[in-house]
Structure 1
Amino acid sequence: MAASQENTLIGLCDEAIDNNKKTRSTFYTSKIGGEPDKLPAVCLMCPSCSLCKSPLIHVVQVYCPLDTSPYHRTINVFACTNTDCHGKCDGWKVLRSQCLESDVKSSTEAAGAQQVSAVQEAPMFSTDWCDDADDWGVEEECGETWTTSQTQTLQTTSMSATKAAPDVSSQLQSLSISTVEEDSQPKGPAFKPFYISVVEESDFTRDTGMEHAQELLREYEQREGATMMELGDCGGGGEEKYEKAEARHGDAVFSGFMKKVSLCPEQVLRYYRNGSPLFISKPMLDLKQMVPPCSYCGSGRTFEFQLMPALVTLLCTSDDNSELAVEFGTVLVYTCHSSCWKSGSNSPMEEFAVVQPDPDQRLFK
Structure 2
Amino acid sequence: MAQEQLFIGLCDGELDSKKYCSSFLTNKVGGEPDWQPGITRQLPRCGRCSASLAHVVQVYCPLQGSPYHRNLNLFACCQPGCSEQSGSWTVFRSQCVEAPNQSSTLEVVVPSATDWCDSAEDWGAEVGGEDFRSGGDKEVQEQARDLQTKGSPAVCQMDVSSGLQQLSLVESKDIPVFRPFFISVLEESELSGEDDELGHAQELLREYEQREGVALGVPEESDGSGEMYEKTSARHADAVFSRFMKTISVCPQQIIRYCRHRKPLFISKMPSNNSHVVSVCSSCGEPRTFELQLMPALVYLLQRIDSNLAKKLEFGTVLVYTCTNSCWTAGSKFPVEEFCFVQPDPDHELFK
Q: TM-score with structure 1 length normalisation?
A: 0.69
Question: Do the aligned partners of residues 30 and 361 (structure 1) sit closer, same or farther apart at CA in structure 2, a change above 3 Å counting?
Answer: farther
Change (3 A) 1:203 1:281: same
* Paired residues of 1:75 and 1:96 also in contact (CA < 8 A): yes
Alpha-carbon offset, residue 360 of structure 1: 1.1
Residue 20 (structure 1) aligns with: 18
Q: How far apart are residue 290 of structure 1 and its match?
A: 1.4
Aligned residue identity for 2:164 = Q
Tell whether the 8 Å contact from 1:34 to 1:58 is kept in structure 2 after alignment: yes
- Partner residue in 2 for 1:340: 327
Cα distance in 2 between the residues matched to 1:192 and 1:253: 32
Deviates more, 1:308-317 or 1:318-327: 318-327
1:312 equivalent to 2:299? Answer yes
The structure in which a higher percent of residues are helix is 2
Q: Does the 8 Å contact 1:57/1:191 carry over to 2?
A: yes
* Contact map agreement 2:53 2:176 (CA 8 A) in 1: no
Choose from 227, 240, 248 the match for 1:221: 227
- Where does residue 7 of structure 2 map in the other structure? 9
Change (3 A) 1:324 1:225: closer
Q: 1:181: Cα distance to partner?
A: 4.3
How far apart, in 2, do the equivalents of 1:11 and 1:250 lie? 26
Q: Secondary structure at the match of 1:216?
A: coil
Deviations 1:5-61 (A, max 9, x none): 84310000111011123x311000010000000101111311011111111000000
2:69 aligns with 72
CA contact (8 A) 1:27 1:143 kept: no
Give 1:251-262 correspondences, 5 Å limit: 251-262=238-249
Partner of residue 264 from structure 1, selected from 251, 264, 277? 251
Could you tell me how far 1:224 is from its partner in structure 2? 3.7
Alpha-carbon distance in 2 for matches of 1:104, 1:322: 44
Separation in structure 2 between the aligned mates of residue 70 and residue 220 of structure 1, nearest angstrom: 45
Indicate conservation of the 8 Å contact 2:29/2:58, yes or no: yes
- Counting only pairs closer than 5 Å after superposition, residues 24-39 of structure 1 correspond to structure 2 as 24-39=21-36
The 3 A distance-change label for structure 1 pair 217 and 185 is farther
1:73-124 Cα distance to aligned partner (Å, 9 max, x none): 000000001113131110000000000112985xx9xxxxxxxxxxxxxxxx
**SS of 1:84 mapped into structure 2:** coil
* Counterpart amino acid of residue 183 in structure 1: L
Distance 1:56 1:82 in 2: 9
Q: Structure 2 CA distance, aligned partners of 1:184 and 1:359?
A: 38
Query: SS state of the match for residue 76, structure 1?
Result: strand
Partner Cα distance (2:223, 2:23) in 1? 41
Structure 1 residues 284 and 273: CA distance shift in structure 2, 3 A: same
Q: Are 2:338 and 1:351 equivalent residues in the alignment?
A: yes
Percent identity between matched residues is 48
Q: Is the partner of 1:305 in helix, strand or coil? A: strand
The 1-side partners of 2:258 and 2:38 are apart by: 27
Match of 1:196 among 183, 195, 200: 183
Aligned residues: 282
Residue identity in the other structure for 2:54: I
**Residue pair 1:39, 1:144 contacting (<8 A) in 2 also:** no
Could you state the TM-score of these two structures normalised by the residue count of structure 2? 0.72
Unaligned runs of 5+ in 1: 109-138, 154-179, 227-245
Q: Do 2:4 and 2:260's aligned partners in 1 also have CA atoms closer than 8 Å? A: no
Distance 1:75 1:88 in 2: 19
Counterpart CA distance in 1 for 2:237 and 2:17 is 48
Aligned to 2:128: none
CA spacing shift, 1:217–1:142, aligned 2, 3 Å: farther
Partner of 2:127: none
Q: Which residue of 1 aligns with 2:88?
A: 91
2:171 paired with 1:185? yes
Aligned-pair distance for 1:142? 2.4
- 2:13–2:181 CA contact under 8 A, matched in 1: yes
Q: Distance in 2 between matches of 1:143 and 1:292?
A: 37
Structure 2: where are the runs of 5+ without partners?
Answer: 106-151, 203-218
Larger radius of gyration: 1
